[in-house]
Each structure stands twice: as C-alpha cells, then as structure tokens.
Structure 1
Amino acid sequence: MTQTKIAVIGGSGLYEIDGLKDADWVTVETPWGAPSDAILTGTLDGVEMAFLPRHGRGHVHSPSTVPYRANIDALKRLGCTDVISVSACGSFREEMAPGDFVIVDQFIDRTFAREKSFFGTGCVAHVSVAHPTCPRLGDACETAAKASGINVHRGGTYLAMEGPQFSTLAESKMYRESWGADVIGMTNMPEAKLAREAELCYASVAMITDYDSWHPDHGEVDVTAIIATLMGNADKARNLIAGLPKLLGEDRAACPHGCDRALEFAIMTQPDARDPALMAKLDAVAGRML
C-alpha cells in the first residue's frame, strides 16, 4: 500500500480547487523546464491533493505551448499517484450536449507540434497506450459526477487536435462520421501518453461546451457561448473533484490495470548504452526502473 496523492490538471475555466486544508502554491523545478504554473497543494478529506492549472493562472499558455513534460514530471516529483485531467471539449454526438461531462477512455492524436515522450536517443522506451486511461479512476470520476447531479457519459473517444483554431466544417464531419470520435479538444495529448510513461494512473473528464461545427442547428463555434457554458461546467467540476478523496481513500494498492508498472517491459536501451544526461532527467518519471 502507498499513500494516495490526487493530482488535478485543470483546463479552461478551472484555475483552482476549493476547500483545501493547509493550501499552498509551491514552485517545482523540473529538468524539462518550468511547469505551466505553481502547483496548489493541500489536503481534502484527509487525502493529499495537488492542483495544476494547465494553461496557467490567467490562461497564458495556448494548447501548443503548454509544457506537458514539465507538468507531468512536476506532479510525479511531488509524489502524485493519480492524475485527473479536466478539460473543455466540443461534442460530436447529439446526446452529449453542452453542460454534460464525458469520462473519456480513448484518444485519436492529431497533434504535431509537441514533444510527446520523455524518452529518446540515449534511452529508448515504448509504453503501451492501447488503453490510455485508468478504469479505476474513471469509476471514481463517474461516481463523483453522478453524486453531484452531473449528466455524465461513461466512455468516449477524444480527438486531440493541434489548434489553436477550431475545426473546419469538413474536418468536423470527418472526425464525427468517418473516424467515430465523440468529443474534440486540444490538450489531452500528449498529456495522457506522458502520464503513462511516468507510471501515473490517468483519467480524462471532458466538459462539453459546444457542438463543434458539424451540428446544422448550431453552426460554427461561438466563443462567447463557450465561455458561458464553461463557467457552469467549472462549478460542476469543482463538485466532482470534492467527491474524489472519499472515493479513492487515503491508502492506495497497486493499480489493478498496471498503470503504475507501465515501464516494466518498455525500456529497450541496454544499461551500458544509456545516455547519462538523459538518465539524470528521467530521475522522477522513471526512477523506479532506472
């Protein structure tokens, strides 16, 4: 058993969490650069918590400039065991309406301008992301959402686009009709892949703000309408987060799905061929194996 420490990465509209005991914003240095912001730490119902605003307070980082590697490294370095990603998304499904939440379980990664791995020349690793989210954490998020009265959908495929522009109508129709995506956003990749490399359990909660551009009755995405929905979603997200400590508990067993052992058969480079400089940078995310 280990001690549970829940990390929440907050997306657009969610820049802090309420009710933390001994709350403190801490600065974490990482070998991958500075995280998006300082990290809010404290306890909630006896469970340690860490909150990182993905875009920084004041929303200063675009989806492409979010320092994803530094963010995940910082959470791992703080001793976090479980990561809950909360992000604003568009919907490709009529039944997944603005104001609803989706517990995502699959991704299609269409990003291209981001560093997507902690590993590379000097230490090569290949982790499996066939099932990129943790069902145990997904269960907790679903339960907390329902207890808060949120209309939540369990399971969905998240199309991660580069942005910062929204989709063209042709793209929106393709993602929906040909590719079978359910929601679209700009920030969960490479975040989910990096969490897996860092052996962190990861769950994604998509907060729907709009119907992207495919819906014949809604037209193109309207940022003013998105912001209005965003504010309501942020209140719901805070209620969901407040329910997680009691559901996950203070003590944590090994992940039944192996998220916390993802590197056991992933590292390919032989020990005598590994780059010492890269090995030093991997001290937090891969220290258990290296």
Structure 2
Amino acid sequence: MKRHPALRHMVRAISFLCILFLLLTAAGNILAPKDNTHLGTYDYGGFYGLPKNTLDTAVIGDSNASEGIVVPQLWGNYGYTCYTSGGAWHDASQSYRALKEILSCQKPKLVILETDTLYQGRGIAAAENSLKTMLESWFPSIRFHNRFKDLKVQDFFSPKDYSWVPEMHGYSYRTEITPYSGDYMADTGASAPLDPTQLFYLNRIVSLCRKHDIKLLLLSVPSPNGWSMAKHKAVSAFAASHEIPFLDYNAALENTGIDWQTDTRDATHLNYSGARKVTASLGEYLSQNYRLPDRRGQAGYEKWQEDYEACRRTVPES
C-alpha cells in the first residue's frame, strides 16, 4: 500500500522539528556560559553560587532594583540573606524568568518585586519581548547566540561552574550625583494602566509565589524620571485587589530622608547615598512586617559574613 501523501508530509515535518529541537538543545549546551558571571546585565546570575537554600529574600526587577537596595546593609543590620537579580530594562516576563531561575536552587521566604519592571515596554513591543524571553528559556542557544564568535575549545567539553557570587549580592554601587528638582508625583489626573502582557506576567509571578508559599512584596524605589502618581495608582489598585502589600517610596518620600540634590545619579536611579537611605527604611519595614530570620553566626551562612566583611573593606559604610 502507498502511504497517503498528507501522512508522508506530516512524518517529514515532525522529523524535521525533532531534529531542529535536538540541534537547538545541543547548541544551547555549547553556547551557554560555562560560568555564571555573564548570564545577564548587572550581577543577574550570582545567586547560583550561593549555598543552596540559604536565600531568604530575593529581589527581582530592572535596574532600579539593582541600584536601589544595598543588599549588604540588610545583612549587617538584620542578618537577612538577600540577593538582587535585576537586569537593565527587564520587563515583567524577564523578572518572571529570574524568579523561576532563583527557585531552581533557592527557597526564599520573601520575594520583592521592584515595580518599574512592569512599565518596561507596552503593546507589540512588550508582547514581542515576552515571546523572545519565553523562547530563550526553552532554547538557551537563542539567549546566548552572540557568544558564537567567542567560543573556545573548553565550551565544547567543560562542565558548568556556577560558583561565582559577587560580594555585594546583586547591588550595583554607584556614586555619581546629578541633582533633580521638580514634583514628579503631582497628581495630573493622567492614567497609566498596566500593559496586558506585563499584567499577564505579573499574575504569573503572583501565582508562582503562592504555589511555593512565598510572601510577595511590591516595592517602588524613588525614581523621578521613572515613576509617577498615575503608575502608583495603577499598581496600588492591583495590589489591593490581590491583597499584596505595596511599598511605594515615591509616594512616601519623607520616610526615606531622600535629598534630590545628593541622592540620585541621573534622576532615574539612586546613587549609593540614596540607596542606603531607602535600604534603612526597607530594613525597618521588613523587620516589623515579616518574620525573616537573623542568620548571623549560624552554621552554613559563613559565606554571607565573608562577603559582608569584604564589602566593608571596599565601602566602609555598607
């Protein structure tokens, strides 16, 4: 009997897709970095090097997350184990991916989502970027395709070594100063609804946290060029409807002591002076609202103290 032409075409198509899948998977294993120092911008992937299941608080978001919270300060003042996995221009889909990667090796009790990530892209651009992020998660060869020209012999044979941990645990230390003046939180009556794609991934973050019994805190660090009263209202409405706490320091700037003449590097990001003030207020908030353990002096947490002491040598006030 002759095969039906349609069936023959279907078999060929399935065979082609299977071969393509195997090739992409093999390419991903080769192209993926063999260490965790360049998995993203800032110190995105440093959490992989932490002792397993020692991370109690994970911070995800964009550059405001990486530059707005002085992680070593939380250890020094409270003994909280924290890591910030942020990335430049990270949108909600990339923050969701970061959370999934963190959960592959850690069991945080609290996740802090810096909400500027929810406004990184709208419409078609947001949908396209989320699709790209999803494909990169399935096929690392897409995510790391730019490494092709830099491949070395060891990339074909060496095992992965994801043991690197930056001493500041994801915080990006910046000291530049660009003064800001203005009233960026004035209520102009404008609206800033969450983009459907960003909202979809925000809901996925909420669901993932609940699935793993993780507390979720929405946080917005002060950012004159990045935030507004309209955004505050939109995120506040979402937080209230989902019974999630939302700590917006833009709307409560007096709780931080921020001075816009000294505490921002570009009127979008905080510098070290500003981040220290926000972290001091955040640490107090966490101590009053969450039962996070003080890990100082506990066996198995020596790495945290070692990194903190190294930070103190570099930045004495940390």
Bucket of the pairwise TM-score, normalised by the shorter protein: 0.3 to 0.5
Q: Which has the larger radius of gyration?
A: 2
Kindly indicate which of the two structures has a greater share of residues assigned to helix.
2
**TM-score normalized by the length of structure 1:** 0.34
- The structure in which a higher percent of residues are strand is 1
